[in-house]
C-alpha cells in the first residue's frame, strides 16, 4: 500500500466499530432507570449472551487500554464478587423470566484471579438465575503467567470450552518494554494443560506496533504461536493513548513504529498466518477453516460486538461488572467504569448503568452497513437500506468520503455495492467511518 494512502487513512483515532454508535457517543441520559425498562421488555424466548467483566490483574501490562487495576490480595476480588452477585440478582428481577443463555464470556482484566471455588459459585448463580442451554458456549480470558493447575481443573468442571490467551509478543525485548514477560515454554505448557482438561478451543492475542517491534520479530512471534496451533488469533495494533491511559506513559514513545512500519508488521503477520492455513476474518482475526468464526464468515453470518468478531447470533448481550457494555433491544448500556462507583450503586440496590445510547431506526441501518463492511469487507447498501425501510439517499453525507476512497483505489463501488479491495483491508475502518454520522467530519 502506498505510503501516502497509509498516512491518509491509517488514523489511530478512528473507532474500531465493534459497535455503532460507539462508546464516545453514549450519554448519561441513559441510566439505571432506562436500563431497567429495557430489561423488562426483553423477549422471554430469545437467547441472550452474558458478559462478565473482572477488573483485576496480578500485574499491569503497560500497553493495556482496558479498565483494570492491580491486586495481590483477595479482599478486592471478594468485594467485587459480592457486588457482581448482587448485580446478577438485580438484573434477574427485571427480566420477564429466566432468559435462555447461549453464550457466556468472562473477560477483563484477568478472570482467573477469582479463586476456583468462587468461580464455580459465580457460575452456579448464573445458572440458577438464567436458563443455560445444553450447548451454551462458555469462554474465559487467561493470563498464563498466573493460572494454576487447580484453576484449570476448575475451568473444566465449570464447562468452559474456549480460552483466550494473551500473548502479544514472544520477543523478550518487546516483553520487557511493556512489562509483560512471558516465555514460550510457559505459554505452551498452559495451552497443553488446557487441552488435556478438555478446553480444546484456544485463542491467542497478538499485538503489532509495540515498542521495539520489527517485521522480523512479529513474524517470529507468529511462527512461535503457530507451533501451538491455536484455533484463532486476534492480531491487534497497539493504540498509544497516554493522555487517556496513564500506564502507557511508561512506554518509550521513541521506540514505537510509524504508520508505514505498523502496516508492514500487520501485513507480515497476516501473510504468515494465512500461509499456515488460517482464514483471515475481517480486519484483525484469523481462524482455522473449521473454527466457528471461519464457518460464520463463509455462511455470511459473522457478527461484530463489543468484544470483536463473533459467531454468536444473539441480539441481546447483558453485561455484568464495572465498565461492562450491554446491548438490549432499544440500545446500549454501560456500567460505571470505576470500581468504587460501581460498588456504590449496587450497594444502594440499583443497577450500575452510568451511560448508554437509545438507538434510532437510522442508527440501526448505519450499524448494519458498518457491521457488514467490518465483517465481509463489502456491503450491498441499497439492499440493506431496503431491508430497513430506507432510501439510500439518507447517505448523501457519505458521498464525498466514499468518492475519495474510490478515487484513491481503496474501494470499488457499483450501483451502491461497496467492496473493499483485499490489499486495502487494513484501512477498512476508514471505509466504515464514511457511514458514521457522529464522527468529526474534518477531511482525512
Q: What is the pTM of this model?
A: 0.94
Based on the fold, state whether residues 178 and 95 are members of the same structural domain: yes
Based on the fold, state whether residues 41 and 139 are members of the same structural domain: yes
Note the pLDDT tens digit of each residue in 274-329: 999 999 999 999 999 999 999 999 999 999 988 889 998 889 999 999 999 999 99
Residue 53 in domain: yes
Rounded CA-CA distance 34/28 in Å is 10
Domain harbouring 378, CATH code: 1.10.10.920
Based on the fold, state whether residues 338 and 397 are members of the same structural domain: no
Based on the fold, state whether residues 172 and 242 are members of the same structural domain: yes
Based on the fold, state whether residues 342 and 404 are members of the same structural domain: no
- According to DSSP, the residues that pair with 363 across neighbouring strands are none
In percent, how much of the chain has pLDDT > 90? Answer: 83
- According to DSSP, the residues that pair with 193 across neighbouring strands are none
Strands (E), 329-415: 331-335, 353-358, 378-380, 411-414
Note the pLDDT tens digit of each residue in 408-422: 999 999 999 999 998
pLDDT bracket for residue 6 (50, 70, 90) = confident
Q: Which of 357, 354, 293 is nearest to 321 (CA)?
A: 354
Based on the fold, state whether residues 368 and 276 are members of the same structural domain: no
Based on the fold, state whether residues 309 and 430 are members of the same structural domain: no
Note the pLDDT tens digit of each residue in 375-387: 999 999 999 999 9
For 169-189, b where at least 16 C-beta lie within 10 A, e where not — what string? bbbeebbebbebebeeeebee
Based on the fold, state whether residues 189 and 171 are members of the same structural domain: yes
What's the number of domains the chain is made of?
2
Which whole-number Å values give the CA distances from 145 to 3, 162, 182, 329, in the listed order?
Answer: 39, 18, 7, 39
pLDDT at 361 over 50: yes
Residue 440 in domain: no
Based on the fold, state whether residues 295 and 394 are members of the same structural domain: no
Note the pLDDT tens digit of each residue in 57-67: 989 999 998 88
Cell digits of residue 321: 461488572
pLDDT bracket for residue 12 (50, 70, 90) = low
Strands (E), 263-311: 279-281, 285-287, 303-305, 308-310
Range of the domain at 395: 361-435
Domain harbouring 86, CATH code: 3.80.30.20
Domain end among 337, 358, 379: 358
Max Cα–Cα distance, the chain, nearest Å: 60
Amino acid at each position: 500500500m502506498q505510503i501516502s494512502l497509509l498516512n491518509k487513512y491509517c488514523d489511530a483515532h478512528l473507532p474500531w466499530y465493534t459497535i455503532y454508535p460507539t462508546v464516545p457517543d453514549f450519554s448519561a441520559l441513559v441510566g439505571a432507570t432506562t436500563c431497567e425498562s429495557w430489561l423488562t421488555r426483553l423477549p422471554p424466548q430469545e437467547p441472550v449472551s452474558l458478559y462478565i467483566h473482572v477488573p483485576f490483574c496480578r500485574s499491569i501490562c503497560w500497553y493495556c487500554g482496558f479498565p483494570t487495576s492491580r491486586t495481590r490480595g483477595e479482599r478486592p476480588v471478594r468485594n467485587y464478587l459480592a457486588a457482581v452477585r448482587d448485580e446478577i440478582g438485580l438484573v434477574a428481577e427485571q427480566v420477564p423470566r429466566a432468559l435462555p443463555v447461549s453464550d457466556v464470556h468472562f473477560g477483563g482484566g484477568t478472570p482467573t484471579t477469582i479463586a476456583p471455588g468462587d468461580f464455580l459459585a459465580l457460575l452456579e448463580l448464573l445458572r440458577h438465575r438464567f436458563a443455560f442451554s445444553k450447548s451454551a458456549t462458555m469462554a474465559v480470558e487467561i493470563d498464563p503467567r498466573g493460572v494454576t493447575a487447580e484453576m484449570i481443573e476448575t475451568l473444566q468442571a465449570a464447562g468452559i470450552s474456549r480460552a483466550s490467551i494473551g500473548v502479544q509478543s514472544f520477543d523478550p525485548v518487546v516483553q520487557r518494554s511493556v512489562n509483560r514477560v512471558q516465555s514460550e515454554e510457559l505459554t505452551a505448557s498452559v495451552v497443553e494443560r488446557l487441552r488435556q482438561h478438555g478446553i480444546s478451543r484456544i485463542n491467542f492475542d497478538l499485538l503489532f506496533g509495540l515498542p521495539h517491534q520489527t517485521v522480523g520479530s512479529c513474524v517470529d512471534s507468529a511462527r512461535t504461536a503457530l507451533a501451538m496451533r491455536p484455533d484463532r488469533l486476534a492480531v491487534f495494533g497497539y493504540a498509544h493513548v497516554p493522555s487517556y491511559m496513564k500506564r502507557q506513559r511508561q512506554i518509550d514513545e521513541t521506540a514505537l513504529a510509524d504508520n508505514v512500519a505498523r502496516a508492514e508488521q500487520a501485513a507480515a503477520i497476516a501473510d504468515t498466518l494465512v500461509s499456515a492455513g488460517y482464514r483471515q476474518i475481517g480486519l484483525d482475526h484469523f481462524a482455522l477453516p473449521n473454527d466457528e468464526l471461519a464457518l460464520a464468515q463463509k455462511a455470511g453470518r459473522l457478527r461484530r460486538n463489543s468484544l470483536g468478531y463473533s459467531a454468536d447470533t444473539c441480539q441481546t448481550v447483558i453485561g455484568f461488572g464495572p465498565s461492562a457494555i450491554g446491548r438490549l433491544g432499544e440500545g446500549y448500556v454501560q456500567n460505571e467504569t470505576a470500581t468504587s462507583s460501581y460498588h456504590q450503586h449496587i450497594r444502594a440496590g440499583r443497577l450500575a448503568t452510568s451511560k448508554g445510547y437509545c438507538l434510532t431506526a437510522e442508527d440501526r441501518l448505519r450499524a448494519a452497513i458498518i457491521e457488514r463492511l467490518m465483517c465481509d469487507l463489502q456491503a450491498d447498501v441499497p439492499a440493506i437500506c431496503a431491508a430497513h425501510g430506507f432510501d439510500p439517499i439518507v447517505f448523501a453525507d457519505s458521498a464525498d468520503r466514499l468518492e475519495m476512497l474510490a478515487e484513491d483505489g481503496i474501494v470499488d463501488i457499483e450501483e451502491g455495492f461497496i467492496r473493499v479491495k483485499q490489499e486495502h483491508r487494513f484501512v477498512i475502518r476508514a471505509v466504515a467511518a464514511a457511514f458514521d454520522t457522529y464522527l468529526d467530519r474534518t477531511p482525512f
